[in-house]
A and B are shown apart, each in its own frame.
Chain A
Amino acid sequence: MIKKKICMLGAFAVGKTSLVQRFVNSIFSGKYQTTIGVKIDQKMVSLGETDVNLLLWDIHGEDDFQKVKATYVMGASGYFIVIDGTRSETYQVGLELEKLAKNAAPQAKCVILINKSDLIRDWEITHGQIAKLISDGFKVIQTSAKDNLAVETAFTELTRMMIK
């Protein structure tokens, strides 16, 4: 069985923990509970004949209070950059963390998640910004941990990219 490490990266309160909890435990809580440090969950994913044990590193959000250590990303086969569609400032934080992750794990695959698509009317992230990410070669998926939109797809897609 293959084991792969995936890191969840992004600014604080973008929904990293919610995405992991939705994917691993099929639960969602609307109450914001800040993550301190790192929480590691595991989930088995089957892609055709291949079973992959995903080690999901839910890493605390990046802000002035907590900085993400590059060592957390070392050994990762893939990582998600999570951006909150309703908060434009999380876009830049996501891009900076992408650079950090790329340096720490150059071979790792990346998928950018624009989360909170249930609040798409309040989005500050523009079509132009999303188009820019796609033109820069990123795989971009719009998700909602709350409404369970494209969460499974996102994890499956990253897993597929990792084992290709």
Chain B
Amino acid sequence: MLKLLPESILKYLIDKLPPFTGILMVKTTFEGTICGWYGKPDDYLDRNPEIGEDVCELVPAIFGMIPPMVVPVVMPRIQTRDQCIADIHIVQDEMTDDYWIFFVNQTKEVENIRQLLQRLNEIQIKTGILSVTSFLDNPFGNLHLLDYVTFLKQENGFFILLGERPEWFKELAQHFPVTDQQIALAEWFPFIDVFVMEADDFWKEGKPGSLKSGIWNENAVTGKTFSLNAFAINLNESNYLLIKPLFDEYTEEQDLMQRAREQSLAYEKLAKTERKLQALLDYKEKFVSIVSHDLRSPVASVLSIAQVLNSDAEFMDHLSDFNREMIKNIQDEMHRLLDYNDKLYHWSNLELGNFELVTSRIPLVDLVKSAERTAKPKINEKQILFKTRVDEELLVEVDKTLFLQVLNNLIGNAVKFTPTGGIIEVMGTKKDTYVELIIHDSGVGISKSVMNNLFHGFVRESTQGTQGEKGTGLGMGIVKKILDAHKVTIEVDSSPNQGTSFIIYLPLV
């Protein structure tokens, strides 16, 4: 067949077209009328060419191309029929002015490029890289426009640089060999050694998509630091390694990490400070607990002596009025000091958690009566009307000793702040799901500033009673601590000169 070809066409065929056995050749007149064909039309066209037919009828892609503006004309990657893409070359016979149209099958090559594009699009989706339409012309050569540098991995572990080097790469690896020689890439980028270990499995398995490395940093001689990612890609049983710098995305990631870790460090510092403070508080409470415990005996002894003297009528008769008053003051003050000391001791032990609840089911009325007995002398002294309305059969599950401290404090306070002739009421009522215990007095009420810190332990602004009784500022703090330990809530309702109500909500037994 080759012998039939004009010399100029034969030369073009040998020089310009690949050694390809599947080429289809169609010969047309100057006007485009088919006058002969060679090869396998089935591979390219839906039907065989017919002599005398306009070639544009057979291959619509050629419409308007004959006569061509210049010769030869090459139309790359034209779909000539379904599932067939070909390069179409139109060459003119210099002797006869006839045209020779060559169809060179590119279907497989285009499919390969499509796969590569597919993989690159996947990278694009992951990294947000913009696509480049010119990629089709030279897939590896144009990747540098996307800041990728591309290497082909050899079986011996070396790499060959493909295509152009992006600008960043030229700056980072100034003396990198740009020939097609095999390169030990780890000599330039030691991190690649590690990534290739992972990538080798990926390449062997021929997985689709890409495998992305961790980030590593390289310093250029200019002093600039580049943060890089590598990607392993399979294509046509060849293994490719792409490296790309991270610019904005790295800064964002680093900023985020920096902030997260700074917060983490700040949190660590706070937690340490809290631990130190807690240790100091525990130390303080232990100190208070020990001192108040050791002070109790001498204070109680002095109080006993004062009480003995006070009750010795013969001794008291020999004293002047002033001295009698002094001894009575000693007794009162030592009594107050002992009370304060006891509360301090209870408070510090509650703070330290040095107690264990031993609960039992007790009639509420028994507890109220016990607290009433404790407060009875003062109640009588102030001629207060003390009323109780507690269901005899109402049971509560509490630590008897501790809960009595609560009632003693609350009722003691009510007595203290209720004027002579006032009323105190204690009411215990069974509700649907709980027991409501109210201690109400018709006293002076609680100011707003005291109310705000009522249950917070030491109250600086401890109010004096209606008869000048001094407080410790600890009572309500102890009440709250004990009720918290019982998981019981307390509320207070008070208005100046209208009285005060403490409401305790106990679980139903």
Contact = CB atoms under 8 A, between A and B. Distances in A.
Interface of A: 5, 12-13, 32-34, 36-41, 55, 57, 61, 63, 65-66, 69, 71-72, 74-75, 87, 89
A71 B262 CA distance: 28
Interface stretch (B43-51, B212-220, B456-464): B212-220
Nearest to A72: B194
B503 to A, nearest CB: 46
A34 B193 contact: no
19 contacts: A12-B261, A13-B265, A34-B254, A36-B215, A38-B214, A38-B215, A38-B216, A38-B217, A39-B217, A40-B190, A57-B190, A63-B261, A65-B257, A71-B194, A71-B197, A72-B194, A72-B214, A74-B194, A74-B197
Contacts of B261: 12-13, 32, 34, 61, 63, 65
B305 interface: no
A40 to B, nearest CB: 5
Contact of A71 (B190, B198, B218): B198
Contacts of B194: 69, 71-72, 74-75
Interface residues of B, number: 25
Contact of A37 (B214, B262, B268): B214
Contacts of B268: 87, 89
A75 B186 CA distance: 12
Contact of A40 (B191, B227, B264): B191
B227 A36 contact: yes
A47 B265 CA distance: 39
Nearest to B197: A71
Interface string B206-236: 0000000011111100000001000000000
A37 B230 CA distance: 12
Contacts of B171: none
A69 B214 contact: yes
Interface in B272-308: none
B215 A37 contact: yes
A93 to B, nearest CB: 12
A34 B264 contact: no
A126 B261 CA distance: 25
B253 interface: yes
B374 interface: no
A34 B216 contact: no
A89 B254 CA distance: 23
A38 B193 CA distance: 13
Nearest to B260: A65
A81 to B, nearest CB: 19
B250 interface: yes
A66 B198 contact: no
A33 B262 CA distance: 10
B219 to A, nearest CB: 8
A66 B191 CA distance: 17
B359 interface: no
A89 B271 CA distance: 12
A41 B219 CA distance: 9
A1 to B, nearest CB: 13
A77 to B, nearest CB: 13
B329 interface: no
Contacts of B238: none
A55 B192 CA distance: 13
B217 A37 contact: yes
Contacts of B250: 36
Contacts of A74: 194, 197
Contacts of B453: none
B258 A39 contact: no
Nearest to B253: A36
B262 to A, nearest CB: 7
A66 B256 CA distance: 12
Interface string B231-260: 000000000000000000010011001101
Contacts of B264: 12, 63
Contact of B262 (A5, A32, A41, A55): A32
A34 B263 CA distance: 12
Given A57-B190, A63-B264, 12 more contacts: A12-B261, A34-B257, A36-B254, A37-B215, A37-B217, A40-B216, A40-B218, A41-B219, A63-B261, A69-B194, A71-B195, A72-B214
Nearest to A37: B215
Nearest to B258: A34
Contacts of A66: 257
Contacts of B219: 41
B440 to A, nearest CB: 53
Contact of B190 (A5, A12, A87): A5
Contacts of A89: 268
Nearest to B228: A37
7 smallest CB-CB distances across A and B, nearest first, come from: A37-B215, A38-B216, A39-B217, A34-B258, A37-B216, A71-B194, A34-B261
Contacts of A34: 254, 257-258, 261
Contacts of A40: 190-191, 216-218
A66 B260 CA distance: 11
A33 B193 CA distance: 26
A33 B257 contact: no
A37 B257 CA distance: 11
Contacts of B191: 38, 40
A157 B196 CA distance: 30
Contacts of A12: 261, 264
Nearest to B272: A124
Contacts of A87: 268
A1 B179 CA distance: 27
Contacts of A38: 191, 214-217
Contacts of A55: 190
